[in-house]
Chain A
Amino acid sequence: MKRVTGMSLVVFALLAVVAGGPEPALAQEEYPPANESVADSLETGMSAMDQARIIADQYAQDPQVEVTSEPFIQGLSNEPKAGALANVRQFTYYGDLITTLKFQNNSTFRNTFKFSWEEYRKQDKTVQKKDDNFTYGLGSNLPFVFTMNGAWNWSEDRTTNTAGFANLSKRDQKRAGLNAMKSNFKTGFLNNTAKISARIMDQESVNQNQRNDFNEGAIDGGFQSDMRIAEGARIAGRLYGMTLEGDRALGNSTESSSANGDTVGFGVYYKRTIANGRVAVTRSNFQKKYLDFKRNTNGLIDTVGVDEDKKVVDELETNDAISYELENNFRFGRIGVGTRLTRLTSDLDYAQSGVGLRQKEQDVMDLSLTYAVGPDSFAVSYDYLWRWDDQRYKNATENRGKQYNKARDYEFRYFRDLFRHTKLNLRYHEGLSQDIAEENAQGHRPNENDLDRHQADISARLERNWIGKFRATMVFTYQQVQDLNIRESRSSNNNVKDSYELSPGYAWTISPLISLDQSYRVYIQYTDFLYSNLETVNRSDDYSKRGNLATKVIIDPSNRLKITLRHDYNKRFSATKTGVDASGNAFYHRDLNQTINKIELAFRFVVTQGVTLEASTYRTRDDRENFGTRDTTTRTYSGEMWVGTQVRRRWFQKNPLELSVMVRKYNAFGPSVTETSSDYWEADIWLKWEF
């Protein structure tokens, strides 16, 4: 494979700003942190808007370097750590070494080396990993922030599946980069931030005997400028560009690869006494050329029956995305009003993949109103989502037809202190989401899955709290869910589910030594199939009821010992509707009676400072009676017990040595317990030294 031969340069130009720029702190609040390079982020399969945002957000980031204002420190520290983990699935042995070198003026070099070996208990699988990462920051030695970083990630995964097929998945990846950033420097009335970075990446990997190698270099940079236009208001513009070049090898093919992209953003940010918010527009474009496996119209790799030399294609992916965002939070006295409107559009186009051109648009509106005063408070919110996507398959002459998704939600919350220590909390929610497949120009719909889901629920919670002694709650919830398939080919399954839940409970601190917690719950759900009355539809309405009594006692006889007892009692019935008489009374046939009893006991004993003994056990009895063409009665038992210890010790003030041990031995039984889960250890043991 040939090495990187050259790289394009990115030219930056400051976006013309008519007036003002965002207050830096204000603007930067809006940007999420980024930990990865742009090149790393630009992965196949990522949406155009996501890629655009990643590119755009690179600018508003703080650099990945620790710059402290602490006094001058100089030194070398090493933190070796070794440990072992065990659980029902795997054993892991690992070792870490963190080396930190601190120089003058906050200049720091930090290297982290990690090694791990994983052995799976249930699978024929081992994974070995070695990773080394370093960062070197020049601190305040330069008038701008400058960092270097590098990484080496090596892994080898050997898995043999149930049929005896052994696969080796191996990867050896190296990366190195330079980053420079100058923030908050003034040019006239403008406040500016500039950033530039360069990196190289090299990977050799193999999986299922297919190699996937690349050797690429990338450079990217950006500029942001802002200015104050009024008290508490700023305006900002930003520009970003990146380019990448290199070579890739996939399967038996080798080809050059490249990517380049740019992002332009503009926004007004304000933060005044009664309102804050922003208006922002971001436009992003990029294209990426790489080797990829042949994919079908859904983007799934499809190489079955394809000639070996046609399995890999030279793909060209282009993205064009734009986002608009308006956010305003207004507070006037006790009234708060929040508004957020966004629109995202993107066109994602593949030259080779069967996916072809995929277009998307998404509009979101979130409105909220809050009112808080004295014993009464309420909050109202209304959210609206409207989005569609369309696709023109590769080589198709027309689009497939838009697939819409519309959703709206309304929520009302009300809080009131009824009496002293007594609170009432009411909630009402209603939501509707719709999937709509639009006919294309030739009258074809992409699918028959048009669906409306309507949900309405109301809940009331009453709580009385005698502080420190007794707390009682009562919760009532009603929910109705309608699943409505619109097309006649699916509508026989349409149904409405009505659910009720009533759950009183209390928690009583009887004395400092004993507390009691008890709750009772009743759940009832009725399912009504909307077309069950038709002879052609063989669906029957039904109901299901369940009662649950949970009791928990906690005993604290001393500072060292804590004992917990818990009992759960469940009673469940379900029945199917068999008919309705002339006066409208419904008749049901009982299908199932079930009773579940579960008892748990747990204790924790502090032997001495840093050393704790623990144990827990439960046992469940499940009685089921099924009534059908043949009645059956079954009783099953299941249970588990574990005993263990925790040790946490630290020695020496200078060059401390730290030991942490958590070991538990599990034994379990029951109908679903397999050989590997019936007897195993769970452990987390490590030893760390700092010098």
Chain B
Amino acid sequence: MRQGLAIWLVCSTVLLSGCLFSPREPEPPGTGVEIDYLPRSSPANVWSNLEKSLFATHAPGWEDNISLIEFRYIPDDEARDQFPPNTFVDWDRAREVTFINNFYNSNVTNIAKMSEDGYVFPPAAGNEMTVEDIIYDLKVINNVDGSEVRYRGKCDVIFRLEGNFWYIYEWRDLQGESDPDSGTLLNTMGVLRGTFGSQ
């Protein structure tokens, strides 16, 4: 009986693989933009890849740089208080993937600068690095109604070398920063996560 079951299972696995798990045939490259992601051989490259992903609204480029083993996002107090109490509790890779896909699928154009001019990333060293006080700036243009919302925040990010590559292990937003043009206080990307992560 066991042999029969095992054979049945192997056969069904092969059949399932061939039928249910076949991806669609992609269209050959045409007019699109090629995204020159950097090798994830340093935290600086990983952080830079997020900027490229934002420009291209290309979700795999974001996901590839988020730890496969363990990831957590910790919002700043200001962003946390704008959402229901448990919105950011246990924010892990799965929630980050949901957020970025919902965000990119919402028909937006992004203008991103993930670190300020003159900010120097420390060279990669060891297996884990905390990079502090990164100030990022993101303008989200809604292609439906033309509205523009800008986010600017200061964060600490922990990078880890997992397997062959560096990944973001923890993203902690510290505080919103001021709009360099108008001086008004802007929200961090925690507000984006809170909005799109729970849709």
**A-to-B contact residues, CB < 8 Å:** 36, 41, 43, 45-47, 122-123, 125, 127, 157, 159, 161-165, 167, 169, 171, 207-208, 296-302, 304, 354, 358, 371, 373, 376, 378, 380, 382, 389, 393, 400, 403, 405, 408, 410, 412, 428, 430-432, 434-435, 437, 446-447, 449-454, 456, 482-494, 499, 501, 523-525, 530-531, 534, 536-539, 542, 544-546, 568, 570, 572, 574, 591-592, 594, 596, 598, 620, 622, 624, 634, 636-638, 670-672, 674, 676-677
What 0/1 readout, one digit per residue, does chain B (1-44) give for beta carbons within 8 Å of chain A?
Answer: 01001100100010011001111101111111111110101000
- The chain A residue with its CB closest to the CB of B192 is A300
Alpha-carbon distance between A634 and B195 when the two chains are bound, in angstroms: 43
Among residues 67 to 107 in chain B, which have CB atoms less than 8 Å away from a CB atom of chain A? 77-78, 81, 83-85, 87, 101, 104-107
Residues in A with CB closer than 8 Å to B30 are: 488-489, 491
Contact of A499 among B33, B78, B163 (CB under 8 A): B163
Among residues 178 to 192 in chain B, which have CB atoms less than 8 Å away from a CB atom of chain A? 178, 180, 183, 185, 191-192
Contact of A161 among B33, B142, B175 (CB under 8 A): B175
Contact present for A207 and B123 (CB under 8 Å): no
CB A209 to nearest CB in B, in angstroms, measures 10
CB B27 to nearest CB in A, in angstroms, measures 4
Alpha-carbon distance between A491 and B85 when the two chains are bound, in angstroms: 40
Residues in A with CB closer than 8 Å to B107 are: 400, 446-447
Q: Total contacts A to B, CB within 8 angstroms? A: 274
* Additional A-B contacts beyond A296-B142, A488-B32, A596-B127 (11; CB < 8 A): A47-B199, A123-B174, A302-B149, A382-B16, A403-B105, A410-B20, A435-B105, A449-B58, A489-B30, A489-B31, A490-B32
- The chain B residue with its CB closest to the CB of A373 is B2
A296-B142, A373-B2 known; A488 and B163 CB under 8 Å? no
Residues in A with CB closer than 8 Å to B28 are: 488, 491, 531, 534
Among residues 44 to 68 in chain B, which have CB atoms less than 8 Å away from a CB atom of chain A? 56-61
3 A-B pairs with the lowest CB-CB distances in the bound complex, closest first? A489-B32, A488-B30, A452-B23
Residues in A with CB closer than 8 Å to B129 are: 671-672
Alpha-carbon distance between A544 and B35 when the two chains are bound, in angstroms: 20
Contact present for A531 and B29 (CB under 8 Å): yes
Alpha-carbon distance between A123 and B21 when the two chains are bound, in angstroms: 50
Alpha-carbon distance between A41 and B84 when the two chains are bound, in angstroms: 7
Contact present for B163 and A620 (CB under 8 Å): no
B118 on interface, CB distance cutoff 8 Å: no
26 contacts between A and B (CB under 8 A): A167-B185, A208-B185, A296-B144, A300-B149, A302-B149, A354-B145, A371-B5, A400-B107, A410-B17, A430-B16, A449-B58, A486-B26, A487-B27, A491-B26, A491-B29, A492-B29, A492-B34, A525-B165, A542-B39, A574-B39, A574-B41, A591-B41, A592-B39, A592-B41, A620-B127, A634-B123
Residues in B with CB closer than 8 Å to A592 are: 39, 41
Residues in A with CB closer than 8 Å to B33 are: 489
Alpha-carbon distance between A489 and B165 when the two chains are bound, in angstroms: 27
Contact of B9 among A161, A373, A378, A434 (CB under 8 A): A378
Contact present for A304 and B81 (CB under 8 Å): no
CB B6 to nearest CB in A, in angstroms, measures 8
- The chain A residue with its CB closest to the CB of B130 is A672
- The chain A residue with its CB closest to the CB of B41 is A592
Residues in A with CB closer than 8 Å to B148 are: 302, 304
How many residues of B are counted as interface, with CB atoms below 8 angstroms from the partner's CB atoms? 85
- The chain B residue with its CB closest to the CB of A636 is B125
Alpha-carbon distance between A376 and B121 when the two chains are bound, in angstroms: 53
Alpha-carbon distance between A41 and B178 when the two chains are bound, in angstroms: 32
CB B79 to nearest CB in A, in angstroms, measures 11
Contact present for A46 and B84 (CB under 8 Å): yes
Contact present for A408 and B194 (CB under 8 Å): no
Alpha-carbon distance between A499 and B129 when the two chains are bound, in angstroms: 24
Contact of A494 among B26, B175, B177 (CB under 8 A): B26
Main secondary structure of the interface of A (DSSP, over half): strand
Residues in B with CB closer than 8 Å to A302 are: 142, 147-149
CB B39 to nearest CB in A, in angstroms, measures 6
Contact present for A300 and B195 (CB under 8 Å): yes
Alpha-carbon distance between A544 and B83 when the two chains are bound, in angstroms: 41
A354-B145, A449-B105 known; A432 and B35 CB under 8 Å? no
A591-B39, A674-B132 known; A620 and B145 CB under 8 Å? no
Contact of B133 among A122, A449, A568 (CB under 8 A): A122
- The chain B residue with its CB closest to the CB of A304 is B148
B124 on interface, CB distance cutoff 8 Å: yes
Contact present for A568 and B127 (CB under 8 Å): yes
A435-B105, A638-B126, A672-B122 known; A45 and B163 CB under 8 Å? no
CB A121 to nearest CB in B, in angstroms, measures 11
Alpha-carbon distance between A450 and B150 when the two chains are bound, in angstroms: 26
Contact present for B185 and A493 (CB under 8 Å): no
Contact present for A493 and B34 (CB under 8 Å): yes
Contact present for B32 and A410 (CB under 8 Å): no
Contact present for A449 and B26 (CB under 8 Å): no
B168 on interface, CB distance cutoff 8 Å: no
Contact present for A493 and B178 (CB under 8 Å): no
Alpha-carbon distance between A592 and B123 when the two chains are bound, in angstroms: 14
Contact present for A410 and B16 (CB under 8 Å): yes
Alpha-carbon distance between A135 and B132 when the two chains are bound, in angstroms: 43
CB B94 to nearest CB in A, in angstroms, measures 12
Contact present for A454 and B29 (CB under 8 Å): no
Alpha-carbon distance between A115 and B108 when the two chains are bound, in angstroms: 44
Residues in B with CB closer than 8 Å to A530 are: 26
Residues in A with CB closer than 8 Å to B147 are: 296-297, 300, 302, 304, 354
A298-B195, A493-B34 known; A408 and B20 CB under 8 Å? yes
- The chain A residue with its CB closest to the CB of B148 is A304
A373-B2, A493-B35 known; A161 and B178 CB under 8 Å? yes
Residues in A with CB closer than 8 Å to B154 are: 161-162
A301-B149, A492-B34 known; A432 and B144 CB under 8 Å? no
Contact present for A670 and B126 (CB under 8 Å): yes
Residues in B with CB closer than 8 Å to A171 are: 81
